[in-house]
Amino acid sequence: MGDAGPLLNGLYVTLSISVIAFAVAAIVGLGICIARSYLPVLRPLFAAYIAFCRNTPIFIQLLWVAYAWYELLGWPKSVFTAAWVALALQSSGYLAETFRAGIESVPAGQVEAAHALGIRRLAIWRRIVMPQMLLTITPALMNQFIVIIKCSTLVSVIAVPDLMFQALRLTGIWGDPVPIMSFVAVVFIAVIMALSALSKHFADLTRARLQS
């Protein structure tokens, strides 16, 4: 297939964008989830944000962030930043609902009992709510991360030199898409299978900690 250097560099860009997008989406999603509980007056605004993020195609969001935002705000100044911002924007809407469902799955009686015992709110979150919430939503979190990785193949449309961009470029140079696209498919399968195994391992560790 020739020099795989460009493809490996593209894979690094793909994973970097995906990790950053997921981390930002998780922070924003959790923040929205908590804010909806403590700022009921703003719930319609948060609901509109979530609806926008979840119902707008990622392709549109990529072009919107990369071009419209830059024209209106002068930011983001690089296509790399535009890529992870767009991916995070869409995923934050899904993760906000995921966190909400996870928090609501924790029995209210446990939280009330902890309050009655005088346990501080932060300790309740750290020792009671968060472990059970993570146990419940870990599969959904990992699924969303996998969705981000799959959607990252679209960032090539704004000229981000990710794995798909490099594969398409090399296909144009060598004129033989079969080995290049087969390599890309195998890479994505390997990455997603590894993430699925990691998700199961993390869920087992969390379950063991709760039972101890």
Q: What is the 3-state secondary structure (H, E, C) of 78-99?
A: CHHHHHHHHHHHHHHHHHHHHH
**Dist CA 190 CA 192 (whole Å):** 6
Report phi then psi at 159, rounded to 5.
70, 30
Query: Per the confidence metrics, is the pTM higher than 0.85?
Result: yes
Give me the tens of pLDDT residue by residue for the chain, a chain 212 residues long: 556 789 999 999 999 999 999 999 999 999 998 888 888 898 899 999 999 999 999 999 999 999 999 899 989 999 999 999 999 999 999 999 999 999 888 888 888 888 888 888 788 888 888 888 888 888 889 899 999 999 999 999 999 999 999 999 999 988 889 999 999 999 999 999 998 888 777 777 766 766 66
